[in-house]
């Protein structure tokens, strides 16, 4: 038989088809690795502590106060709104609903603030100008709301409370700014009602600027508003408003069936290649998943614990690459609660609030952060079971050559026909030919793992020369 070169893993995680249909460049397991170096498998970077904001971060927003010349990272923590310009957080206002999920948007150089808890206790709609909190500045007569968004020079509020009465299927909109460009007003009759699937509350609103639409989600339906008419898009929705993100013109969102992509027509399910990972998400956590756009190339969806094939992976993020239509799984040390993109010292990075009140800075390209806030990052990946094009014939091999740009502490093991794994063996050279106990069987599979706080490994592939068993004895 010819030399088998497996030097491309750009397909990454795919667990839906049988091993016979799975491509050679696809993996059966991918934890804390990515394919950002095309073809290679590289361990992810880590994160470091930005600041301790308190006890539990349930709102996070990057607010650029242009007139004041400051960029603030706003956070809501157990009833208190706080800000930081890089140093220790300071309080803006306290005494608010402790368990509220707080949402923000920026308009007219102010941060608009809304939110409610799971019992539908709403915050009073407010603005922050610099670090001054107000329930009257540009929000006089505005309803309380769960969701806020800016669309075509108006502020929109959805799932609202007016004079003590909740209207979960309404969205209100402000006036356009005055001639000075500093003020908006609210009128009691400026609202629309989403009648489709009447009885379901609005679960989120989101602006897709490329499509010039305000998207409105219920749990089982999706709609679009263009300031004149409301149209139905599909009988597909979401229960997790923080999963809704637009990445490179495509709006992604999550529901219990998986990750959907919307480009102006019917939303398409894109997560089918990893369906068993979707099915393994803890069901009680579905409403709390949240997402972030990363570099306008990746959709990062934090989903919590995932149980697959009897193993539970904690604090998981499903990372989808639009560039090569591939998935991987990140498993973090801390339990994140929300993401925000923020600029510090002219560098834009993703920041993550967590359930203990900390906010972390996720490392980006060029950063040298190799741990999860000083904790080791445990990475592993597993190839498909290779039949080498002749599934009905037994093969054997005695050597395998491993290729790595950086092997670091990476170890490998192998098995045949789904049997017991060999012992772990460290890879310690860029080109590392290994003599192995003669492996004989129909299917060959390889597993790699590493856990440390050192710089990431980059595995580039492997090569071996199998022979038919009949040749060996002939």
Query: What is the secondary structure of 241-269 as a DSSP string?
Result: GGG-EEETTEEEEEETTEEEEESSSS-EE
Residue 24, φ and ψ in degrees, nearest 5? -65, -25
- Candidates 68, 67, 73; CA nearest to 181 is 67
Type and span of the H or E element at 84: strand 80-84
Find out whether 19 and 403 touch, Cβ atoms under 8 Å. no
Contact 104, 157 (CB under 8 A): no
d(CA 211, CA 95): 40
Q: CA of 230: how far to CAs of 33, 207, 215, 216, in Å?
A: 42, 14, 10, 9
* pLDDT given for residue 19 in this prediction: 86
State residue 474's pLDDT score: 47
> Residue 90 is encoded by which pair of tokens?
């300071």
Give the CA-trace dihedral at 123, 128, 133, 137, to 10 degrees.
Answer: -90
Q: Are 364 and 353 in contact (CB under 8 A)?
A: no
Supply the DSSP string of 177-196, one letter for each residue.
Answer: P-TTSS-----TT-EEE--T
User: How is residue 430 annotated by DSSP?
Assistant: S
Residue 1 pLDDT: 61
Rg over CA atoms, the chain: 25
Q: Is the dihedral of CA 290, 203, 286, 222 positive or negative?
A: negative
- Measured CA to CA, the distance from residue 128 to residue 236 in angstroms comes to 35
Partner residues linked to 344 by β-bridges: 347
- Measured on CA atoms in the order 94, 97, 102, 105, is the torsion positive or negative? negative
Q: How do the pLDDT tens digits run along the chain, 474 residues long?
A: 678 899 999 999 999 998 899 999 999 999 999 999 999 999 999 999 999 999 999 999 999 999 999 999 999 999 999 999 999 999 999 999 999 999 999 999 999 999 999 999 999 999 999 999 999 999 999 999 999 999 999 999 999 999 999 999 999 999 999 999 999 999 999 999 999 767 899 999 999 999 999 999 999 999 999 999 999 999 999 999 999 999 999 999 999 999 999 999 999 999 999 999 999 999 889 999 999 999 999 999 999 999 999 999 999 999 999 999 999 999 999 999 999 999 999 999 999 999 999 999 999 999 999 999 999 999 999 999 999 888 999 988 888 999 999 999 899 999 999 999 999 999 999 999 988 877 789 999 999 999 999 999 999 999 988 888 876 554
- At 185 the pLDDT is 98
């Amino acid at each position: 038989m010819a030399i088998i070169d497996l030097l491309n893993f750009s397909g990454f995680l795919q667990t839906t088809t049988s091993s016979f249909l799975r491509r050679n460049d696809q993996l059966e397991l991918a934890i804390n690795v990515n394919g950002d170096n095309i073809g290679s498998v590289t361990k992810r970077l880590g994160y470091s502590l930005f600041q301790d904001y308190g006890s539990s971060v349930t709102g996070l927003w990057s607010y650029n106060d242009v007139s004041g010349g400051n960029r603030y990272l706003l956070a809501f923590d157990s009833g208190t709104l706080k800000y930081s310009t890089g140093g220790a957080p300071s309080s803006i206002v306290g005494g608010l609903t402790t368990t509220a999920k707080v949402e923000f948007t920026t308009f007219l150089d102010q941060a608009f603030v809304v939110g409610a808890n799971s019992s539908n206790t709403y915050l009073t709609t407010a603005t922050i100008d610099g670090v001054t909190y107000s329930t009257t500045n540009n929000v006089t007569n505005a309803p309380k709301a769960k969701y806020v968004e800016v669309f075509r020079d108006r502020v929109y509020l959805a799932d609202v409370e007016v004079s003590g009465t909740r209207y979960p299927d309404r969205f209100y909109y402000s006036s356009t700014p005055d001639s000075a460009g500093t003020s908006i007003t609210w009128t009691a009759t400026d609202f629309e009602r989403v009648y489709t699937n009447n009885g379901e509350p609005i679960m989120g609103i989101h602006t897709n600027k490329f499509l010039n639409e305000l998207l409105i989600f219920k749990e089982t339906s999706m709609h679009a508003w263009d300031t004149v008419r409301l149209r139905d898009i599909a009988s597909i929705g979401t229960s997790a408003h923080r999963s809704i993100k637009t990445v490179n013109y495509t709006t992604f969102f999550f529901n219990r069936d998986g990750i959907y992509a919307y480009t102006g027509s019917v939303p398409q399910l894109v997560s089918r290649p990893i369906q068993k990972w979707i099915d393994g998400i803890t069901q009680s956590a579905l409403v709390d998943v949240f997402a972030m756009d990363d570099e306008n190339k990746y959709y990062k969806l934090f989903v919590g614990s995932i149980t697959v094939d009897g193993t539970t992976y904690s604090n998981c993020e499903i990372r989808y690459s639009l560039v090569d239509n591939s998935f991987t799984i990140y498993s973090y040390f801390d339990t994140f609660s929300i993401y925000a993109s923020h600029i510090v010292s002219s560098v834009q990075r993703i920041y993550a609030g967590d359930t203990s009140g900390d906010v972390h800075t996720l490392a980006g390209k060029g950063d040298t952060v190799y741990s999860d806030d000083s904790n080791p990052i445990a990475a592993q990946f597993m190839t498909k079971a290779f039949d080498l094009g002749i599934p009905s014939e037994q093969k054997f091999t005695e050597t395998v050559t491993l290729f790595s740009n950086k092997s670091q502490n990476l170890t490998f093991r192998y098995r045949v026909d789904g049997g017991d794994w060999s012992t772990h063996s460290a890879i310690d050279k860029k080109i590392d030919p290994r003599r192995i106990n003669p492996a004989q069987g129909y299917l060959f599979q390889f597993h790699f793992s590493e856990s440390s706080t050192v710089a990431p490994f980059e595995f580039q592939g492997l090569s071996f020369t199998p022979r038919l068993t009949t040749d060996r004895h002939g």
